[in-house]
Chains A and B, each alone.
Chain A
Amino acid sequence: MSTADKPVVESAQHIRYAFTEEQEQFRTALRRFLEDKSPPLEVRRLMATAQGYDPAVWRRLSEDLALPGIHVPQQYGGAGFGMVELGIVMEELGRSLLCAPYFSSAVLAASAIMNGATEEQKRDLLPDIAAGLQLATLAVTELDGNWDPRAIRLKATRAGGNYLLEGVKSYVVDGHTANLLVVAARAADRDIGLFAIPADAAGVARELLASMDPTRKIARIEFKAARAQLLGDSEDGLNALSRTLDQAAVALANEMVGGAQKLLESAVSYAKMRVQFGREIGSFQAIKHKLADMLVDVELAKSTAYYAAQAAAVEDPEWPAIACMAKAAASDTYVRTAAETIQIHGGIGFTWDNDTHLWFKRAKSSEVFLGQPNYHRELLMQRWRV
């Protein structure tokens, strides 16, 4: 059967195609907060620290804006909104490159707990994460950096009422500062389950890794007979993990388009200001073409990312496929936009003093984070049953 024979998107009647007035107002407040608290100078200061974030800013982000629990239901201490609002947050965080353990704690770990934990575990774990008091992260990838859950080898062996974890996780976002680790592990050599373990538990050793993108810290975590709690009633947590990674892909796509938009604005602004051969470089056709192509590129990626968030919010049947599309599109766009922004800045674009490299590095790290674009395109094809 060819792809033309079957509907690709079955039902989109409940999807909104615009943000509400309140959502726009929220974006304005959030952007103002981030412009105040996360200017490039502050990003540079924090990326040079091992901790990688400012606890005072994290506190205000949690207390004033209630961001860590924006998508967490109210009965678990969250604000009770959904993927669209989370997408707005991510887009603005990507724009400002805020150095904070938001993606790890609020997006990855909180979603994994919401998707995989029992009611009692959710009531126990989520309120502190939603309030920003507990920093959590999700450990999926191992030494090969593969985001495909089938590649997970870390063992979880039943020991009384708990499980003992044995193995290594790597490239764990904010793994060095999180207090709580949610670990994807293979139980009884078969099923992939989700396990929760305090980061300071016996048998857990953490090491901050050097990485190209210092604005998002990653760590290697070694587990040696570390005692963990199974999340949920069953050792089979694959569906919960897949759903979490899809939600994270939507969030990351929105973060990436926020960064790409910021780069585009920076390129346009420089092209209007930089004078060469007696006129602004933006008046040269070669630069105009570049900027026009960048605009189209960013707008398409944004539309996909927004659509993915709206589709996920209403549980549209196609949303996991759209999540893959959004992640792949945003990855390509972000890297292209960053490269072109450096080109438009000319010689200064290659310097440390110019801020473009901060977003370029984030673009490159986001490209592989949660899986490369090809991996997501392959997943998209599988989900479309092509």
Chain B
Amino acid sequence: MKILVPFKRVPDPATTIRILPDGSGIATDNVKWVINPFDEIAIEEALRIKERLKTGEVVLMTIGQSNWQEQLRTGLAMGADRAKLIVTDKPLDTLTIARVIAKVVAEEQPRLVILGKQAIDDDSNQVGQMLAEILGWPQATFASKLEIEGDRCTVVREVDGGLETVAFPLPAVVTTDLRLNEPRYASLPGIMKARKKELKEIPIESLGLDLTPKLRVKELKAPPKRQAGRKVGSVQELVKLLHEEAKLI
């Protein structure tokens, strides 16, 4: 079974993010870039499905600049078979990203598209759902367990108040939650093998899509700095402050 795993490159969660003075984005100097952790779970799940079925192919894709190859190579080192980099230096909104992935789906014809439920940079949580709608495929979001039997897929979803089990026919789109698996680490033999695997760059213009964003980020702002606490002398004083200053009571 062929599985397509689209992923996004994001700043390392351990990196301290600084917003540019004009609020147009984040400062990218000295930022370490990694595969979005939810997408990494998707890669791991795709590899596990392939290993369980003892057949198939795991294809990675991402959309970005040529130097995003590094993260694709990391995915290949984990064990994916080949990768596609849709090259662009323009910022894209979630709907355009879903359309680009749909184009790759049309070409690759995978039976399953599996991706993270959201990226940890903008937390949009939209691409998987939009992609399923564009393709007209069933979707199961927030997967914490996934089983494939023949041409059917069963997914346990984490929803408010419990777990929901859904079953649907393939092809389908699945988005991964945190507890689905623990991704493997790339070994040195894996890294060496990854250098020889196919990594194809495709200019985004060749897909023939309207890339005009429907969504525009107006400004990024850091949350206000936490103020230092204050000691009060008595309960009466505390109540007075809560009433008059904080206006909470």
Contact = CB atoms under 8 A, between A and B. Distances in A.
Interface string B175-200: 00000000011111101100100000
B185 A25 contact: no
A25 B186 contact: yes
Nearest to A60: B185
Nearest to A30: B185
Task: Assign chain B's interface to a size class.
Answer: 10 to 19
Nearest to A79: B189
Contacts of A32: 185
Nearest to B12: A32
A66 B187 contact: yes
Contacts of B74: 25, 29
A30 B184 CA distance: 11
Of the candidates B70, B188, B195, the one having the most CB atoms from chain A within 10 angstroms of its own CB is B188
B169 to A, nearest CB: 33
A26 B188 contact: yes
A287 interface: no
A284 interface: no
A79 B185 CA distance: 15
Interface string B153-191: 000000000000000000000000000000011111101
B115 interface: no
Interface string A50-87: 00000000001000111000100000000111000100
B82 interface: no
Contacts of A26: 186-188, 191
A69 to B, nearest CB: 10
A178 B5 CA distance: 42
Contacts of B77: 25, 29
B186 A29 contact: yes
Nearest to A65: B187
Nearest to A34: B185
A22 B194 CA distance: 10
Contacts of A60: 185
B191 A33 contact: no
Interface of A: 22-23, 25-26, 29-30, 32-33, 60, 64-66, 70, 79-81, 85
19 contacts: A22-B195, A23-B188, A25-B73, A25-B77, A26-B186, A29-B74, A29-B77, A29-B186, A29-B187, A32-B185, A64-B185, A65-B185, A65-B187, A65-B188, A66-B187, A66-B188, A70-B188, A79-B189, A81-B188
